[in-house]
């Protein structure tokens, strides 16, 4: 879609202002994807691109193409809420590195989109700014925490979007909404200017309707950043140039641990049909084992919540976050308690208490240190698997999108929706979710996603494997 729109812009068949206005007009408050819309700024960005085209200047592929930004990513002069009342008045004084890169490529920003508070959630019901609904069935969740990012794309309210993925927060909602979503290798994209959840797990990634569009956005935002010591060189790759669609001879591993108890029968059927399609494309299907998969979810939550506790300690109403009248409090402890109890939602409080507990004296070795050891075992499982196969293919989620309100009071059941996603974050692998079919429920065809995992820093291969499937379904 981005390439076709680019051609139309250059040929004068449409202007960026017209394209941007079309998407602004498409924003549906009932879906609730956007927290804030920057209409004036978006149209100014679009007009600037139109002026460049009028002058005969060459423009990048993403120039003038409207997208949405997860409200966890700082955009200068725009409020970044992180879906929390704690930051409802925080206007960012600077751009995140990914935003700087998008500006260099003259992309258009329509607005900031909804998320579970501080990216903690799997349904986008835990935002202080309302619930986001799934465009395929508005009684269902879009997934989370990047629910606003995926819903905006799925509803035609943006051509592309940025999300973040700590434990499936790009891939799971992409599966629920029928979009394409990529969690890059840890370090492929700078995290500078992105409000941290779990620093050793977080990664920014693109969401769009096609694999090529995701590749184009990744080409724009990837690369080393001196402001993020964990970021890696990308050598200026144009990931869209690697999309040959040829997977003949590629060895694709199917881990049996992902096909057992808990997998919905309809999702399993769609997934097995997708496996057959890969066979028809010439890929070799190999049964593999990832033996520590059953420990991944517990390991993830120990590590993620411990890091969350550390990262959110700064939001105390003195250094960062909403403040209160200090004269109304008898001590600084009372002040902190007031600010944090009113600024944070219930899910954040639950996770902060759990994370703080695992880091407390006497429990650090039993929980956090042990989780780190199991994390290494999970990584070793993948290293061994990739000695045999080129890619690993799994269902993205064990089920389709569930009903709004269905799991709000059942945290464990909510957390289990990420059971197939968290291993890739723990290992730092790239993971791509692509639409592979639908399951019918309550008279609605609900999307099912397939997850392609690849070797570290092999986004080229992962994207091409997704592109091959996408092209095969078009024939």
* Separation in Å, CA 462 to CA 432, 436, 468: 7, 15, 10
Please tell me the least confidently modeled range out of 48-52, 152-156, 196-200, 334-338: 334-338
Instruction: Report the sign of the C-alpha dihedral through residues 381, 382, 386, 391, in that order.
Output: positive
CA–CA distance, 475 with 472 (Å, rounded to integer): 6
Domain total in the chain: 1
CA–CA distance, 311 with 3 (Å, rounded to integer): 39
For residue 437 the two structure tokens come to 């079919």
Residue 150 φ/ψ, nearest 5 degrees: -75, -40
- The whole-number average pLDDT for the span 189-205 is 98
Catalytic residue among 84, 92, 127, 145: 145
> Is-catalytic flag, 145?
yes
Residues whose CB is less than 8 angstroms from the CB of residue 337 and which lie 6 or more positions away in sequence, other chains included = none
Pick from 70, 105, 122, 180: nearest CA to 473: 180
CA–CA distance, 16 with 159 (Å, rounded to integer): 12
Catalytic residue among 16, 70, 146, 190: 70
Pick from 247, 255, 253, 244: nearest CA to 280: 247
Helical H runs in 15-156? Answer: 16-26, 39-54, 97-104, 147-154
**pLDDT at residue number 333:** 82
CA–CA distance, 97 with 94 (Å, rounded to integer): 9
What's the domain range around 303? 1-475
**pLDDT at residue number 326:** 63
Within 10 angstroms of residue 91's Cβ, the number of other Cβ atoms is: 12
CA–CA distance, 1 with 242 (Å, rounded to integer): 17
**pLDDT at residue number 324:** 72
Pick from 285, 289, 256, 457: nearest CA to 382: 289
Predicted confidence (pLDDT) at residue 26 exceeds the cutoff of 90: yes
> Is-catalytic flag, 70?
yes
Per-residue pLDDT tens digits for 127-138? 999 999 999 999
Instruction: Tell me the percentage of the chain whose pLDDT exceeds 70.
Output: 99
Helical H runs in 107-249? Answer: 147-154, 171-177, 211-221
Catalytic residue among 36, 123, 161, 169: 169
Per-residue pLDDT tens digits for 296-355? 999 999 999 999 999 999 998 887 888 776 667 778 788 888 889 889 999 999 999 999
* Separation in Å, CA 411 to CA 123, 406, 416: 11, 11, 9
- Three-state SS at 115: coil
- Over the chain, what is the mean pLDDT? 96
Predicted confidence (pLDDT) at residue 370 exceeds the cutoff of 90: yes
What's the CATH code of the domain at 52? Answer: 3.90.1300.10
- pLDDT-derived band at 377, boundaries 50, 70, 90: very high
**pLDDT at residue number 42:** 98
- The whole-number average pLDDT for the span 249-273 is 96
Indicate the burial class of 253 (C-beta count within 10 angstroms; 0-12, 13-18, 19 or more).
buried
Number of H helices, E strands in the chain: 15, 11
8 A C-beta contact, residue 213 and residue 160: yes
For residue 16 the two structure tokens come to 């960026």
CA–CA distance, 109 with 23 (Å, rounded to integer): 11
- pLDDT-derived band at 232, boundaries 50, 70, 90: very high
For residue 50 the two structure tokens come to 């139109």
């Amino acid at each position: 879609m981005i390439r076709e729109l680019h051609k139309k812009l250059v040929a004068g068949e449409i202007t960026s202002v017209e394209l941007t206005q079309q998407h602004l007009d498409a924003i549906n408050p009932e879906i609730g994807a956007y927290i804030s819309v920057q209409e004036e700024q978006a149209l100014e960005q679009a007009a600037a691109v139109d002026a460049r085209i009028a002058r005969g200047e060459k423009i990048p592929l993403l120039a003038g193409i409207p997208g949405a930004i997860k409200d966890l990513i700082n955009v200068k002069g725009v409020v970044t809420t992180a879906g929390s009342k704690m930051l409802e008045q925080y206007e960012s004084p600077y751009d995140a590195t990914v935003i700087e890169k998008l500006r260099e490529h003259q992309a258009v920003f329509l607005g900031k989109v909804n998320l579970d508070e501080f990216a903690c959630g799997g349904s986008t019901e835990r935002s202080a700014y309302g619930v986001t609904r799934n465009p395929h069935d508005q009684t269902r969740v879009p997934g989370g925490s990047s629910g606003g990012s995926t819903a905006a794309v799925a509803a035609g309210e943006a051509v592309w979007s940025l999300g973040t993925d700590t434990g499936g927060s790009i891939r799971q909602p992409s599966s629920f909404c029928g979009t394409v979503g990529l969690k890059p290798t840890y370090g492929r994209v700078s995290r500078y200017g992105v409000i941290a959840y779990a620093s050793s797990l977080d990664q920014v990634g693109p969401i769009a309707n096609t694999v090529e569009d995701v590749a184009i956005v990744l080409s724009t935002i990837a690369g080393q950043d001196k402001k993020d010591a964990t970021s890696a060189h990308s050598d200026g790759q144009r990931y869209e140039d690697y999309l040959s669609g040829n997977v003949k001879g590629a060895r694709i591993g199917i881990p049996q641990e992902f096909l057992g108890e808990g997998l919905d029968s309809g999702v399993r059927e769609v997934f097995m049909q997708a496996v057959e399609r890969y066979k028809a494309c010439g890929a070799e299907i190999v049964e593999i084992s990832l033996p520590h998969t059953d420990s991944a979810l517990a390991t993830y939550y120990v590590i993620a919540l411990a890091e969350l506790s550390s990262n959110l300690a700064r939001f105390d109403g003195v250094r960062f976050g909403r403040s209160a009248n200090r004269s109304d409090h008898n001590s600084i402890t009372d002040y902190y308690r007031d600010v944090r109890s009113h600024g944070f939602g219930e899910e954040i409080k639950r996770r902060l208490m759990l994370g703080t507990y695992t880091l407390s004296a006497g429990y650090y070795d039993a929980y956090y240190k042990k989780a780190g050891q199991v994390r290494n075992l999970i990584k070793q499982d993948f290293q061994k698997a990739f000695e045999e196969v080129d890619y690993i293919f799994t269902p993205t989620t064990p089920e389709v999108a569930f009903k709004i309100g269905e799991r709000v009071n059942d945290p464990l059941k909510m957390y289990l929706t990420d059971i197939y996603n968290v291993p890739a974050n723990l290992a730092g692998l790239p993971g791509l979710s692509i639409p592979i079919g639908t399951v019918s429920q309550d008279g609605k065809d609900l999307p099912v996603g397939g997850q392609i995992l690849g070797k570290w820093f092999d986004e080229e291969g992962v994207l091409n494997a997704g592109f091959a499937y996408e092209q095969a379904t078009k024939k």
